[in-house]
A = this chain, B = another copy of it.
Amino acid sequence: MVPEIGGSMSPVLRCTQCPAKSFNICRPLDYDRQKELFDLGVQQRWPRRQALFRAGDPHGAIFKVTSGMVALSKQMPDGRRQILDFLLPGDICGFLETGEAHAFDCEAVTEATTCSFDRARLQAFSALHHEVAAAIRQAMVERLQRMATHMASVGQLSSTARLANFLCTLSQAYSAHDIQTRPLSLPMKRTDIADHLGLRLETVSRAFSKLKDRQLIDMVDDERVVLDQSLVARFSSEAYLG
């Protein structure tokens, strides 16, 4: 799932308890400091559909996803939910809250493992190491930009274009996380994609069929898809959403 990356400048450090590759907010740190940070972490395993935390929970830990996929979402009182983003191994969540409580829901979309850090200790660590604070800010800016692009997609595009754009965006995220993109794996359910795109699952299914018919994608099975080059060219964020 997460292939080895070779030829890095310093040895790829692993959290003493985490199987996945290095914490992306730690890239700027040298080996000793990465080790110091990772030693703070505690590994946890989450079955599919289980909540890491819910909006309103008092926030304790900050989570780094180490395997599987996790969804950040907002739940409405009537049961509808909006999935804001899918998190991949290396991503962190639970750090962007105000006050004392979580603002979002966070749940495992597949079986997932995380490495969790005590919030106060990570904060103290980032106060000490200026580069970590900068990396956290950078992570926030990137999440903001991802959300903005996605909002434009949900607000402006037709169902099929929305799905096409989603697949391209996901492919780009996989590339950034050194995850294979051909075929592209879709570990989340159709319902999850629907809740992410602001559609019903039947509409998502029809959109998949349309893309297949137009030969813009090729489905290996329900959870593996190969994107055609022309799709990537037309619907990637840069090309399509400015």
Interface on A for B, CB 8 Å cutoff? Answer: 55, 74-77, 80-82, 84, 96-98, 103-104, 137-138, 140-145, 147-152, 154-156, 195, 197-198, 239-242
Contacts and interface: CB of A to CB of B under 8 A. Distances in A.
Contact of A74 (B152, B197, B198): B152
B103 A152 contact: no
- The A interface is mostly helix, strand or loop, or mixed, namely helix
B152 A151 contact: no
26 contacts: A74-B242, A75-B242, A76-B156, A76-B241, A76-B242, A77-B239, A77-B240, A81-B152, A82-B148, A82-B156, A84-B148, A84-B151, A96-B141, A96-B144, A97-B141, A98-B145, A103-B148, A104-B148, A140-B141, A140-B144, A144-B147, A147-B151, A150-B151, A154-B154, A155-B195, A155-B197
Nearest to A130: B127
Contacts of A149: 74
Contacts of A80: 156
